[in-house]
């Protein structure tokens, strides 16, 4: 059986010419690949709308230079699910389509039932059904067009993973996939691939055979390629908003100048009125008749003073508004730059990974279980305790985490390792379904903070002499099926090290050595701690309520003579880039940074954090800041030279 090699289908990595708003964007690399291996003589799409998917197929046909006739069938009137629209959608698509693909492609404005009679039976090699998405509609479309499919026929169903409203494609897909060879993707609303022909192309058959035992690798490959296009589409949208935001800044600045001019005019008027009042007061004794005018002038002066105060208040509000807008735009531009850099970085890493896949094969690593730390008794297996501290996490997050733990533990079979899960809730009580793994629930003590809760689990775990490792695990992530094995492989090779997993799709941009795997500090999101380290330095510093306890723990471990490593093949799914700004979390981060810097003797960073707490209006003055507490019962000799505050909250020189 041939092995699916994406490098043989370079069209998967092609730049897409038309990226219009669509949930189909994530499937375009697969559409390119499918066209490459099927080389259909006739391709028909039922339901085209903006033409994102259809133009991708047409682009593939043109770049492959194959003899394929393409037909897009749609009324271009809309429907109750996608909404109704006018002729502008079709006109926009024609303006783009006709000049590029008009020599082999046609846009047919018709209902599906009216158009079917214009195609011969057993003539269509590739059919894409993406019209009205109710169960009855998609079933009718399939049964109506099935006789038109050739012996090589393949059918695509979009939205097989949408279960809201009256969408019913998922229901029909579960029925029809039992009758034919198939493959499916869950991302971008889901895509079903159905081989209805009795004699599909050999390349497509090989792909289906290969997918039986390599489903995860295939779906992940095309998901990453589709995500690349979705990120590019999102980046283009963000870039289009920059001129509008810049125009807003210019308008606010113009308003500020106008208000300043008004303030100056009022101040000049006030000075003139004060001069008039002084003159009237000097002549008061001589001119009693002017007393009424003086009273009127005083009233007018009071009115002007009120106006001046009101203008001052308005100017202050406008200044604050302008400052917030500037801060927002600076943060917005910074995020845009970071995201662009990460996209380039991810693209580079993907190319490097593909190159490695081409030149080398994966070999199972042998896990080395050294005898350091807690010793085994009576040849019983070592224990690996996975500690989870929840705080009002969704049920979907808990379910996905547990499933990933079970799959990862499957990879430990045959090794002298037993895994258990320790759980404590800092928020509302979480639900964990029955599992083949032992799950130990601890009684909640309220929201005592991440570090304190983890210390409770860790202390209980290492009280058992069979426990060799404790794994800190965030509840809002998922383990790759090989993650636990790779962490233990790294621990076997470096038994006196803190070891963190590699987070995906967004990594910390701190440095790590590609040869020694040394890294300045390790994230507590997925962190393996061995007994020897816990015995020497204890757990997390309880003075950290949330954030930076992992940085402090890493530096303490290094001060005690241990090393900190990253296991780059141990993947932990943990997406944090799209989190919205939270003022409460921002305040806690600054307070934790202030305490960390004080503990590690960096007065410059302490001052910066304190100034930011006041500047961001979390405290009205420095005198209101809480007193620093530096009491830690297991405090060891710290080496301040290890700490790195030069890059602020990165605590390391950046990798990109």
487-508 pLDDT, tens digit per residue, is 999 999 999 999 999 998 888 8
Q: Is residue 260 part of a domain?
A: yes
* Ranges in the chain, pLDDT < 70: 1-4, 6-7, 284-286, 288-291, 319, 325-379, 576-579, 629-636
Q: Is residue 510 part of a domain?
A: yes
Q: Are residues 350 and 388 in the same domain?
A: no
Give pLDDT, residue 656.
72
Domain boundary among 557, 575, 593: 575
Q: Are residues 38 and 161 in the same domain?
A: yes
Q: How many CB atoms lie within 10 A of CB 41?
A: 15
Closest by Cα among 564, 571, 558 to 517: 564
Q: Are residues 347 and 242 in the same domain?
A: yes
- Give the separation between CA 644 and CA 648, rounded to whole angstroms: 8
Q: Are residues 296 and 397 in the same domain?
A: no
Q: Is residue 347 part of a domain?
A: yes
Q: How many CB atoms lie within 10 A of CB 529?
A: 28
Q: Residue for token digits 């057993």?
A: 122
Give pLDDT, residue 328.
65
Q: Are residues 325 and 422 in the same domain?
A: no
Closest by Cα among 120, 125, 95 to 107: 95
Q: Are residues 346 and 255 in the same domain?
A: yes
Q: Is residue 554 part of a domain?
A: yes
Please state whether the peptide bond connecting residue 505 to the residue before it is cis, i.e. omega within 30 degrees of 0. Answer: yes
- Give the separation between CA 366 and CA 369, rounded to whole angstroms: 10
Decide if 437 contacts 403 (C-beta within 8 A): no
Give pLDDT, residue 354.
42
Q: Are residues 254 and 394 in the same domain?
A: no
Domain boundary among 548, 575, 602: 575
Give pLDDT, residue 632.
46
Give pLDDT, residue 347.
45
Give pLDDT, residue 637.
80
Question: What is the enclosing helix (H) or strand (E) of 388?
Answer: strand 382-390
Q: Are residues 507 and 567 in the same domain?
A: yes
- Give the separation between CA 645 and CA 580, rounded to whole angstroms: 25
Q: Is residue 616 part of a domain?
A: no
Q: Is residue 221 part of a domain?
A: no
CB contact set of 442 (below 8 Å; sequence gap of 6+) = 422, 423, 424, 456, 457, 460
Q: Are residues 52 and 169 in the same domain?
A: yes
CATH number at residue 437: 3.90.550.10
The average confidence (pLDDT) of the chain is 86
- Give the separation between CA 375 and CA 288, rounded to whole angstroms: 106
Domain boundary among 575, 595, 625: 575
Q: Are residues 264 and 319 in the same domain?
A: yes
- Give the separation between CA 142 and CA 419, rounded to whole angstroms: 48
| Domain of 548, in residue numbers | 382-575
Q: Is residue 629 part of a domain?
A: no
Give pLDDT, residue 342.
55
Give pLDDT, residue 352.
43
Q: How many domains does the chain have?
A: 3
Q: Residue 331 burial (CB < 10 Å; 0-12/13-18/19+)?
A: exposed
Decide if 591 contacts 523 (C-beta within 8 A): no
Q: Are residues 447 and 543 in the same domain?
A: yes
Q: Are residues 337 and 404 in the same domain?
A: no
Give pLDDT, residue 459.
97
CATH number at residue 164: 3.40.50.150
pTM above 0.85, yes or no: no
Could you give the 3-state DSSP secondary structure of residue 54?
Answer: helix
Q: Is residue 107 part of a domain?
A: yes
Closest by Cα among 84, 98, 89, 88 to 55: 98
Decide if 386 contacts 473 (C-beta within 8 A): yes
């Amino acid at each position: 059986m041939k092995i699916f090699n994406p490098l043989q289908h370079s069209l998967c990595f092609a730049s897409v010419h038309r990226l219009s708003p669509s949930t189909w964007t994530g499937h375009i690399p697969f559409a390119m690949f499918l066209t490459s291996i099927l080389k259909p003589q006739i391709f028909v799409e039922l339901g085209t709308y903006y033409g994102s998917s259809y133009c991708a197929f047409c682009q593939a046909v043109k770049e492959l230079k194959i003899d394929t006739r393409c037909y897009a069938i749609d009324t271009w009137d809309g429907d109750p699910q996608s909404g109704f629209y006018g002729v502008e959608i079709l006109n926009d698509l024609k303006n783009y389509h006709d000049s590029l693909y008009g020599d082999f492609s046609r846009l047919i404005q018709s209902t599906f039932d009216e158009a079917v009679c214009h195609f011969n039976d057993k003539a269509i090699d590739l059919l894409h059904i993406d019209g009205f998405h109710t169960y009855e509609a998609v079933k009718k479309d399939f049964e109506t067009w099935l006789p038109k499919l050739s012996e090589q026929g393949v059918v695509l169903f979009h939205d097989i993973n949408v279960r809201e409203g009256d969408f019913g494609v998922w229901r029909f897909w579960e029925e029809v996939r039992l009758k034919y060879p198939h493959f499916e993707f869950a991302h971008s609303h889901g895509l079903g691939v159905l081989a209805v022909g009795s004699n599909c192309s050999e390349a497509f058959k090989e792909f289906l055979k290969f997918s039986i035992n390599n489903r995860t690798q295939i779906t992940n490959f095309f998901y990453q390629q589709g995500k690349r296009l979705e990120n590019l589409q999102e980046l283009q949208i963000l870039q289009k908003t920059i001129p509008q935001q810049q125009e807003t800044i210019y308008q606010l600045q113009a308003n500020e100048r106008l208000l300043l001019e008004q303030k100056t005019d009022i101040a000049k008027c006030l000075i003139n009125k004060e001069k008039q009042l002084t003159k009237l007061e000097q002549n008061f004794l001589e001119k009693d008749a002017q007393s009424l005018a003086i009273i009127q002038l005083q009233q007018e002066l009071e009115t002007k003073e009120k106006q001046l105060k009101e203008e001052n208040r308005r100017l202050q509000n406008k200044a604050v508004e302008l400052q917030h807008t500037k801060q927002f735009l600076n943060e917005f531009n910074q995020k845009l730059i970071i995201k662009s850099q990460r996209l380039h970085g991810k693209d580079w890493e993907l190319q490097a990974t593909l190159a490695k896949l081409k030149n080398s094969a994966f070999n199972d690593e042998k896990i080395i279980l050294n005898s350091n730390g807690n010793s085994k008794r009576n040849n019983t297996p070592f224990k690996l305790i996975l500690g989870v501290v929840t705080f009002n996490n969704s049920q979907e997050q808990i379910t996905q985490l547990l499933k990933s733990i079970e799959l990862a533990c499957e990879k430990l079979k045959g090794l002298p390792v037993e895994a258990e899960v320790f759980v404590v809730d800092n928020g509302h009580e979480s639900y964990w379904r029955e599992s083949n793994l032992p799950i130990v629930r601890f009684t909640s003590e309220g929201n005592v903070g991440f570090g304190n809760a983890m210390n409770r689990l860790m202390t209980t775990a290492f009280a058992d002499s069979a426990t060799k490792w404790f794994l800190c695990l965030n509840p809002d992530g998922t383990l790759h099926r090989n993650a636990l094995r790779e962490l233990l492989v790294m621990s076997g090779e470096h038994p006196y090290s803190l070891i963190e997993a590699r987070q995906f799709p967004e990594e910390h941009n701190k440095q790590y050595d590609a040869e020694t795997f040394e890294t300045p500090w390790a994230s507590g999101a997925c962190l393996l701690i061995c007994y020897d380290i816990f015995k020497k330095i204890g757990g997390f510093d309880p003075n950290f309520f949330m954030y930076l306890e992992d940085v402090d723990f890493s530096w303490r471990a290094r001060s005690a003579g241990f090393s900190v490593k990253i296991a780059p093949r141990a993947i932990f799914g943990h997406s944090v880039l799209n989190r919205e700004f939270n003022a409460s979390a921002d305040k806690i981060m600054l307070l934790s940074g202030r305490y960390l810097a004080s503990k590690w003797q960096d007065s410059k960073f302490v001052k910066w954090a304190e100034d930011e707490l006041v500047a961001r209006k979390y405290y009205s003055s420095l005198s209101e800041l809480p007193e620093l507490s530096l009491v830690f019962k297991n405090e060891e000799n710290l080496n301040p030279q290890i700490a790195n505050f030069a890059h602020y909250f990165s605590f390391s020189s950046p990798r990109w």
